[in-house]
């Protein structure tokens, strides 16, 4: 199970070097639940990522309203960790809460934005845009 965003922030604050933080992001990816082969579809593939990335959106109608859950995977270790971080940020929230959350600000706050290659930054933006599009569509 993935840690919460607050737990991720706390761990980042405890890690002194970027090498340790990088390793932690990779470890987050190892904590992702396996994505079933049936979810590795063209529809779930995220465009704009250099690595292969899949994000599946699961709609959960609750008495309190619609909640979106996400599952994801990548064929690259660091990208899989970034997927895990994004899922920790967005999964289990209402579409409006997703649209109100600025993932890029969180990446900046953690210092990740300045340590990602431009290509990986584009991939992160593509994942975030995909999740936000799904949230906007779920709102109707």
Cα–Cα distance list, 61 to 31, 64, 69, 114, 138 (Å): 26, 8, 11, 38, 11
Question: In angstroms, rounded to a whole number, what is the distance separating the alpha carbons of residues 99 and 97?
Answer: 5
Question: In angstroms, rounded to a whole number, what is the distance separating the alpha carbons of residues 137 and 140?
Answer: 5
DSSP 8-state code for residue 117: -
| 49 among known catalytic residues | yes
> Of these residues, 28, 46, 49, 128, which one is catalytic?
49
Question: In angstroms, rounded to a whole number, what is the distance separating the alpha carbons of residues 89 and 124?
Answer: 13
Q: Which residues are catalytic?
A: 49
């Amino acid at each position: 199970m993935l840690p919460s965003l607050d737990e991720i922030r706390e761990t980042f604050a405890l890690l002194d070097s970027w090498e340790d933080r990088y390793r932690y992001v990779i470890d987050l990816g190892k904590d992702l639940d396996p994505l079933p082969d049936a979810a590795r579809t063209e529809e779930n593939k995220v465009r704009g990522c250099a690595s292969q990335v899949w994000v599946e959106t699961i709609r959960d109608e609750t008495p309190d309203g619609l909640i979106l859950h996400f599952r994801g995977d990548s064929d690259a270790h660091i990208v899989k960790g970034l997927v895990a971080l994004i899922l920790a940020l967005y999964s289990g929230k209402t579409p409006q809460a997703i649209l109100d959350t600025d993932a890029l600000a969180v990446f900046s706050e953690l210092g990740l934005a300045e340590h990602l290659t431009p290509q990986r930054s584009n991939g992160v933006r593509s994942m975030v845009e995909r999740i936000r599009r799904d949230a906007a569509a779920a709102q109707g």
